[in-house]
Every structure is written in structure tokens, then in C-alpha cells.
Amino acid sequence: MRITSFIPAVILILAFSCTKPAEKQKITTGSLLSEMVDLERLTCLPGESYKTVQYSSYDRRSTSPADSGWFSNEDGFGGEPIPGFEEVLKEPDSTGVGEYLICDIQKPGAILRLWTAGLDGRIRLFIDNVNSPVFEGNAQEFFWKTIEKLSGNDGQIDYSNTFRQFDATYFPIPFSARCRIEWVGDIKKIHFYHVGMRIYNRGVRVESFSVNDFLKYSQKIQEINAILKNPESSDILKVKNAQLSEISIAPGSSGELFRLSGPKAIDYFSVRLHATDIENALRKCILTIYFDNSSIPQAEAPLGDFFGAAPGVNPYSSVAFSVHTDGTMICRFIMPYKHQAKILINNNSSENIKLSSMINTAGYKWEDEKSMHFRARWKIDHGLTASYFGASGNSVPDVTYLMAVGKGRLVGAAAYLYNPSNAVTSWGNWWGEGDEKIFVDHDTFPSFFGTGSEDYFNYSWSSAKIFSAPYCGQPRNDGPGNRGYVSNFRWHISDDILFQNNLAFYMELGHHGIVPGFSYGRIVYLYSLPGLIDDYRKISMNDIIKLPYYTWEPKAYLGSAGNRFVQAENLLSSGSNCRVEDGQIWAGGKILMWSPIKENERIIFRFRSEEEIKNTSLGLTLAHSPDGGTISVYLNGKLLKYGDKETISLFEPDQQILDNHFSDRVSIIRGMNEIIIESGSGIPGKKAGVDFIWFKEH
């Protein structure tokens, strides 16, 4: 049964259009700031053509797919065979410090994105006039605190998770004629960098950045900062004028969510799926969206994957998409159509499902050869063997994200991985050593050549942290380290990648180990003129098979080498309110779950050592969850510190994950040793899951 209704309009419906009165006006810091939250802009080909490129510290031995160095992986640690810069300006002096060119662009353009995992030395930034730098100072601070360092107002306003998003900073720095960036530092020290640039054709009017822009556009900066801090703020208006749909779909059947007449544009689309096995149903229900009577859907993906976080419900908030804890999934990318739009769901699961969905449309002035359709292209490969660079008998593949011929712009990508590694630390089970490679138009070498998969997604050092920001996030990472299911996303809102003829997007798959049974899913979001040809293939039943959560046992490898692991339940000596629970992500499929009923309650583990071990660390692999509590840990009566704290918080807002915790230096005595875990405040209702305990091998 399908029920469709309308909520009465209480606000003025705004109309979208490709033609804007001031389209040919000068490009300024202020106009580029506005683009950071302007999703409407992405639906139209721009009046002023440009190319988006990335300068990075990629390994310069990578020159061509036909050469042996294409997958080289020394890209910023220091001491590379070839310096990771455009040019050596001044050879290192007796202290090891030299001068190196990051870029020298002699056209109008703008810096849009800066990223680093760590950057020693100093940066010199020249805008137009190469005799006087706009900035000269600490390199890492320039990349991570761009606004603060350029404005001189360090620390006065919080830009974390707005302009600064994990390890990337988005703040536009336009230039009218030239941009030159130099690095001064010791080439043997760390120097990871990405500089994302938009380069306009000569003759485009650009007003160069000035430190006076911080005063001139102060209100605009705070406006954009506020929107990025709360990307969902505009939803309140849209849902007051939305069309609703309730639909039930039997197994093996299809249902229509919406059929719309144009010209209009969808500017808000949300779905909530009701099913017994939500994770399975979100992967097996296929969403298809058709615009303007196309015989091939412009968007096709498993329902959960379309919304940027999969498998399952993985809450996050961003500019383009959000997922709520109740399972409501929201898309804010604007989808224009000239004649009609149709949104369908095909239920390939074995159960009856129900969907509650909402859509908002606004008027749209469609302009041929300028207005573009929204597209989403999803792919997955199962049964891969992920391997490390240089592994004998194994090769690192370039995984295809998208190949397209036509005219449009890339606006985002997400990756959905199953990484069944038995290693227990990021240094051992990390899957993303590979780099992004994006070819645009007539490129013979990529316009984007990265330094690691996580670097593309704006984080670094194979972080296992669950996070989301306006343009990027990691809403799922089972752990410990980076094993299990992992989900990453990045939106190209201000740094969209425009293409006039074709685009090819690849990501290397490089692992720390050799891991069979690896699955690599991904989705790319783009806009294009009608008639674009891409590598679309209809999703098959093999693509959406239900993957088992393989039972895994901890393996000592790389970062965990020299350790052995014992399941916590096998060492439990005393304590109440404990039970062994089954679970898909726990080692061996089981975990010791403790539910204390009062503060300072204790459980005790005992183990025997045949000899004294000095200067070691006590490792615990613990569950973090929405009902995770706070604990303290004692070894032989001594309160341990983990990091600089005497307590461990096991709270994770939206999901269950495993994480490793390592104490400060301790000694294991010969004979019987005792580990005590003590509950903190906020009991009852909190839990502590202890999966396994680490012991250094003798």
C-alpha cells in the first residue's frame, strides 16, 4: 500500500536557476566563501571555466602506468629517492635545510584546500608579487590554521570541524595572476602535503586575496562558519513544505517512492527503512533515480550506500548527506530535471520492508547545455586479495571509481570496505596505503595524485577514529585498528572537479598485509549534461550478497609483533554482573561484557608469568558503545595511566567498535599477577566490554 500526502506550505518556495544576475562578476574571497555551502551552483556549468588540480608530495618515481614506479609509495616521510616537489630551488646546506617549489601557477585561480599529516619547516606563499610573500612562517600551522595564521587572530574564533576538517583546511585564497608556494626545510624530515587549486583561464577577473579580506568579509566568514557547524539548519524550512510517501514492498518486488513533473529541482530527499535485518535490507534494496525519461538510471545504488555510510545505519552529519540515529537518511544534493523525475526501490531481500520517505522540490529554470543532472555510480568488488607494495606474487591494483565521457563535474565519493585482517593494530591492518589518481580531460598524468587513501578522505596516519565533518568523515570503522567494516566519504563542494571531455578516477588498493576475502565498494557522485557516457553497469545479485562477519583471531603482526593475546573471559578470577556475549565484530565472536551496578565495583583477572618482565605495557582491547562507561585499571595494586589519564572512557555515541588501549610503562612480576578493572561514575546502565588482553612475549 502506498500513501502520499502533502504538508501545507508555510514558507515561500524559492526557485533555482543557472542564470544569475552577477554571474560574470569578479571572483573574490567573499564569492568563493559563498560557494562553500552553495549546492545549487553545482547543478550548472560555470560561466567561467576552470580546472581543479592538486599539488602533492606524491612519490616522484610514479611517472606512468607503463613504468615500474607507478605504485611507488615514499611520499612525505622524509629521505625520498626523489624529492616530492616540483623543483629543488636550493640544495640543502650544511644543516640539511634546502628550498623546494610546491607550485608556481601563472594564471588566475584560488587555493581551495590544504591538507597535511605533518609538515616540518616553513612555507612561503606569494600572491601575484613574488618579491613579497603574503605569508612566511611555520608550515604545519599554515596548513592546519590557515585563517588564524593569515589573519593574525590565532585562537580567537573556533574553526574546528568547519573550515578545519580533521587534517584538511578549506579556506579560499584567490589570486589574479600568480600563486607560488615554496617550502623551506630538511628533506629528511616529514613533509606531507596536498594543495588543492582551482585554475581559471587567462582573462577571468579575480580579485587577489589580501589580509584585509578578513575584515571586509568578516560577516561572511562567520555566516559560513555557522552553516558548516550545523549543516542541517536549513532542513527545518524544507520539511515544512515537503511531500511524504509511505510504501511497503514485498520480497522480489519494486515500489515507486515518487514521480515528479518538471521543470523543478529536488533539494531535500530522505528515506527511513523499516526491516528486521536493517543492515542486510539497506544493502539489498536498490535505489534508482531516473530523470527526463532516461532509459538508464542517473543514480543507482544500494539504499544505504547511496547516503554515504554503509553497511548498516552509521549516523553522521555533513553538508551533502546526513544519517540520523533512528535510521533516517538525508540527501541535500540538488537534483534538477526538465520534464520528470522518478524514484524507485527494488527489494532484493527476503523480507517485507516499509519505507517512509520525504521529498522537497522547488522551481528550477532548466537551461539546455548548462543545466546538469545529478548522478551516482556505485561499484563493488568481492573476493579481492589486498596486498602490500612489493609483496612477492601480489600486485597493488588501481581500483576504478569512475570512468566518464562527456561534460560535468565530480562532487563526491565514498568507500565501503570489508577488511578481514587478523592483525590488531593500524600498523598491520591498514588498508589504505594506495593513492587516488584522477585524470581530467586530456591528462596524460593525473591532475590529482595523492599520498594515501585516508589523505584523500581528509584524515591521516590510518586513524581508526569515528568522525564526521561538513565535507568528510569515517562514520564506520569496526576496529581494532582498521579491520572489519570501514566507511569513508568526501564531498567536493567548493573544490568540485570540472571536466569538459572525460574523467577517470582510480584509487590504489595497498595494504599492510596480504588479506584475502577483501571487499571494496565505492560510489561517486557527479553532475553532467544529458548524454554523458560512463561505466555504468546494472547492479547484480552477486554484488549485494550478504557478507558473513568472519570469525577472527588476533594475530601478532607489525605494530603488535611480539605480543600474545588472551581472551578476557579465560583470565577472569572474580567479579559480579559479567557474562560472555556473542557478537560479530569481537575476536572469536565473543566478548566479556561487564554491567556494574555501582561506582567503584571491581572485576579481577589473574595470570601467571614465568619470569619478571620490566618496562612493558599492559594492552587491553575494549568495546566502545553508546552505553559504554568509564573504568580505571590497576596492575598488582598500582593505578595505571592510559595516555595521560587514569581513566578510560568507553563511550562511543552511535555504534559499537573495538579499540586498543596501552598503559604507561609497567613491570610484570614473576608468579601470579592481578589486573583489576574498576567502574567509574555514572553507574548503573553503563557497560565495559573486555575482548582480549595483551601480553608481551618473553
Per-residue pLDDT of 394-420, as tens digits, reads: 577 899 999 999 999 999 999 999 999
Q: First vs last Cα of the chain: how many Å apart?
A: 66
User: Which residue, among 165, 238, 228, has the nearest Cα to 36 in the 3D structure?
Assistant: 228
pLDDT at site 7: 37
pLDDT at site 394: 56
Tell me the fold of 562-696.
Jelly Rolls (2.60.120)
In one-letter notation, the amino acid at residue 183 is: W
In one-letter notation, the amino acid at residue 570 is: N
11-29: average pLDDT: 70
C-alpha cell at 38: 552553495
Q: For residue 663, what are the β-bridge partners?
A: 642
pLDDT at site 382: 97
Q: Is the pLDDT of residue 239 over 90?
A: no
Q: Is the pLDDT of residue 29 over 60?
A: yes
User: Which residue, among 433, 460, 403, has the nearest Cα to 59 in the 3D structure?
Assistant: 433
76-229 matches 233-534 in fold: yes
* Cα 383 → chain centroid: 23
How many Cα atoms sit within 13 Å of 276 on the Cβ side?
5
Structural contact between residues 324 and 317, judged by C-beta atoms closer than 8 angstroms: no
Q: Is the pLDDT of residue 272 over 70?
A: yes
Rounded to the nearest integer, the mean pLDDT of the chain is: 94
How does pLDDT run across 99-110, given as a tens digit for each residue? 999 999 999 999
Q: How many CB atoms lie within 10 A of CB 360?
A: 20
C-alpha cell at 519: 571487499
* Cα 26 → chain centroid: 33
How does pLDDT run across 360-400, given as a tens digit for each residue? 999 999 999 999 999 999 999 999 999 987 665 557 789 99
Q: How many CB atoms lie within 10 A of CB 652?
A: 17
Q: For residue 358, what are the β-bridge partners?
A: 244, 270
Q: Is the pLDDT of residue 158 over 90?
A: no
pLDDT at site 597: 95
Residue partners of 273: CB distance under 8 A and separation at least 6: 281, 282, 285, 303, 304, 327, 353, 354, 355
Residue 1: pLDDT band (50, 70, 90) is: very low
Q: Is the pLDDT of residue 87 over 70?
A: yes
Q: Is the pLDDT of residue 698 over 60?
A: no
Domain 233-534 has CATH 2.60.120.1390: yes
Phi, psi dihedrals of residue 630, rounded to the nearest 5°: -120, 135
Q: For residue 271, what are the β-bridge partners?
A: 329, 357
In one-letter notation, the amino acid at residue 270 is: S
Q: Is the pLDDT of residue 155 over 80?
A: no
Domain-wise residue ranges, the chain: 76-229, 233-534, 562-696
How does pLDDT run across 445-469, given as a tens digit for each residue? 999 999 999 999 999 999 999 999 9
pLDDT at site 618: 95
pLDDT at site 24: 63
How does pLDDT run across 544-580, given as a tens digit for each residue? 999 889 999 999 999 999 999 999 999 999 999 999 9
pLDDT at site 365: 97
Structural contact between residues 528 and 469, judged by C-beta atoms closer than 8 angstroms: no
Return the higher-pLDDT residue of 153 and 40.
40
As a whole number of angstroms, the distance between CA 50 and CA 206 comes to 12
pLDDT at site 10: 34
pLDDT at site 21: 53
275-301: average pLDDT: 98
Strands (E), 153-238: 164-165, 168-169, 173-175, 179-186, 194-200
Domain 76-229 has CATH 2.60.120: yes
Q: How many residues does the chain have?
A: 698
User: Which residue, among 575, 578, 582, has the nearest Cα to 594 in the 3D structure?
Assistant: 578
Q: Is the pLDDT of residue 8 over 50?
A: no
